[in-house]
Structure 1
Amino acid sequence: MSDASINTQVNGGEAGFRDYFALLKPRVMSLVVFTAAVGLLAAPGGVHPFVAFCAVLFIAVGGGASGALNMWWDADIDQVMKRTTSRPIPSGKVTGQEALAIGLTLSVFACVMLWLATNIVAGALLAFTIFFYAVVYTIWLKRWTPQNIVIGGAAGAFPPMIGWAAVTGGVSVESVLMFMLIFMWTPPHFWALALFMNSDYEKAGVPMLTVTHGRRVTRNHILVYTILLAPLAIGTAFTSIGGPIYLTVSVILNVLFLLGALKLWRRNEDQAQVDKYRLEKSFFGLSLMYLFLHFGAILAEAALKPYGLGGW
């Protein structure tokens, strides 16, 4: 890690609320909040609305804490990469010490409060998630192996499992399937991004698959993971969190995702450069919709179930 991550503020002006909030990676946090809420609402039994609100809030705070710790450690990389130079630390609005202090404080607060509001299993899962993202992925895997996204994807896959545990106090097949849905989706999602942002990763020295093995191998991997993801995603329709709505949505999305991955696989770099990676950017956008609609379908099944309309 560069000294830039722990230096005092550069000439970037005083930090405001927006700068400190940006440390928490609000875009990533929004995905954490959504998938955690779906896991909580799909879980059997249910909890009081206020407890549910508190659980999702503390999971969101924990996700934000992970983001702050990630920005603290990756400040040197963020200074180099075009899409991250405006982040609070590289822009000089927030110091590395502040980011570290905020990340650690919020981590302890979120885990303890989630434990007190729900149960120790949910609190422990949140603590492990923060540790996995901040230490296993950010500090170890990200700069060490091209499999960083594959293994590190587990960190982003835990929120629905935590939401489920907040209600049930445990882990089940359904919560594991929600975890696996995100876990298997993460590599093709981020590798699609790496295809058109490869120069950023090269400059920063991050061993993304596109950097270490090239775009051709990356396209092969995207196709393989998309093929493996499809039966997992569709198969979830036949569990207690699935139903006809989820099945319909999943079949359509996986056909589109497979066709998109196949188009990427057939492309060569000359074609991609001519249209400035138009298909790769389109596939990346589709991947965002893919995850959102799958979890939206799980939520719809859960919402309709009390009326006898959701599920099988």
Structure 2
Amino acid sequence: MKLKRYLLVTKPGIIFGNLIAVAGGYFLAAQGQIDLGLLLATVTGLSLVVASGCVMNNCIDRDIDRHMERTRGRVLVTGQISLLAALAHGVVLGLAGFGLLWWYTTPVATALAAFGFFIYVGVYSLWMKRRSVYGTLVGSLSGAMPPVVGYCAVTGQFDTGAALLLLIFCLWQMPHSYAIAIFRFDDYSAAGIPVLPVKEGIRVTKQHIVWYILAFAAAALMLTLSGFAGYGYLVIALLVSIWWLLIALSGYREEVDDRVWARKLFGFSIIAITALSLMMSIDFQTVSTPLLFTGL
């Protein structure tokens, strides 16, 4: 099944998660005025760009992936796909994705997608992931781009709403990623990746998780307080933030199994961001908020 190998190297799970986020940003900005052609081009174009970035990441990480239980079965590690074939696959996907975004969306949306791609492949994968404990923070910028691209594909501008989406999704990435690093602690340690739990310990990471969830809650609520989303969204944002925080605080119990706790925290992070993406899609508000930025 050669086609399956080329699909697996794109990390389909990550692509699907980004589809929900980009749709949330698009629907928030569209305010009920849906252009199906633009929506399809945005979702498809960004999915291809994300797929390209994931292929490139697999190419870069093939040496450390063989040391991690989770990744040692990847097709580039096992040799089911050659490095040259994977690189060509990634380039074609990227060109197709950026072409769609440039032709059918807006220059700002395309530039933001390119920025996210550069951060993920050029800064995070090639450099900071292996060298710095701050790699997770830098990588969160690329992970936060899909909803912002979806939003700017409609507005053509990077305004207050786009800035809030960037902040919300960046802050969400941190507890989400730290939870993975805790329950995959042995993998990251074996591969020599300097994530926070490996470098500073799990207890310090738990403290960071709590603070990031509090910051995430404040940013998520700002979407309503700034007039972009309604009170239905506000209620859901408040509920998921409180529940996520309670899970985080439960990690301080003496009898807790850190890996089990981290998996629970990770699982709820998916529920939280999905709920917010869905609510901002249906509970938007018409706003006339001054722009923070009028171009890129």
Cα distance, 1:276 vs. partner?
6.6
SS in structure 1 of the partner of residue 133 of structure 2 = coil
* Equivalenced residues, count: 285
Aligned partner (choices 142, 145, 168) of residue 181 of structure 1: 168
Aligned pair partner of 1:62 in 38, 45, 49: 49
The question of 1:23 aligning with 2:9 is answered: yes
Distance 1:125 1:196 in 2: 32
The residue number in structure 1 matching 2:292 is none
Distance, in Å, in 2 between the alignment partners of 1:35 and 1:241 is 16
The residue that corresponds to 1:118 in the other structure is 105
Q: Which amino acid aligns with 1:100?
A: L
- Measured after TM superposition, the shift of residue 48 of structure 1 is 2.5
Q: Say if 2:80 is the partner of 1:80.
A: no
Report the secondary structure of 2:66's partner residue. helix
Measured against aligned partners, the alpha-carbon deviations of 1:27-84 in whole angstroms (never above 9, x if no partner) come to: 1111211111111121147452122111210111001000000000000111111111
1:95-174 aligned within 5 A = 95-174=82-161
Letter in 1 for 2:226: T
Q: CA RMSD in A?
A: 1.7
Contact 1:111 1:124 in 2 (8 A): no
- Distance in 1 of aligned mates of 2:112 and 2:30: 19
Q: How many Å separate the matches in 1 of 2:35 and 2:212?
A: 39
Give me the whole-angstrom Cα distance separating, in 2, the residues matched to 1:276 and 1:149. Answer: 20
Matched residue, 2:289: none
For 1:86 and 1:172, locate their aligned partners in 2 and report how far apart those are by CA, in whole Å.
Answer: 43
1:1-312 correspondence to structure 2 within 5 Å: 16-44=2-30, 46=33, 48-264=35-251, 266-267=252-253, 271-272=255-256, 275=257, 277-302=259-284
Larger Rg: 1
Residue type at the aligned position of 1:288: I
* Overall identity of the aligned pairs, in %: 29
Q: Does structure 1 retain, via aligned residues, the 8 Å contact 2:55–2:90? A: yes
- State the 1:113 CA deviation: 2.0
CA–CA distance in 2 between the matches of 1:77 and 1:34? 30
1:143 is paired with a residue whose SS is helix
Q: One-letter code of the match for 1:53? A: L
After superposition, give the CA deviation of every residue in 1:105-129 in whole Å (9 maximum; x if it has no partner).
2212211221111222222221121
Q: Which runs of 5+ in 2 are unaligned?
A: 287-296
**Equivalent residue, structure 2, for 1:3:** none
Determine if contact 1:35/1:160 at 8 Å carries over to the other structure.
Answer: yes
> Taking structure 1 as the reference length, what is the TM-score of the superposition?
0.87
Higher relative contact order (CA 8 A, sep 6+): 2
Structure 1: gaps spanning 5 or more residues: 1-14, 307-312
Counterpart residue type for residue 254 of structure 1:
S
Contact 1:174–1:240, Cα closer than 8 Å, also in 2: no
Q: Distance in 2 between matches of 1:104 and 1:47?
A: 31
Taking structure 2 as the reference length, the TM-score comes to: 0.91
Contact 2:108 2:157 in 1 (8 A): yes
C-alpha offsets along residues 241-273 of structure 1, whole Å, 9 cap, x if unaligned? 311110110111111111111112x145xx34x
Report the CA distance between 1:232 and its aligned residue. 1.2
User: In structure 2, what is the Cα distance between the partners aligned to 1:170 and 1:17?
Assistant: 38
Preserved contact between residue 261 and residue 283 of structure 1 (Cα < 8 Å): yes
What is the CA-CA distance between 1:86 and the residue it aligns to?
Answer: 1.8
- C-alpha separation in 1, matches of 2:89 and 2:115: 18
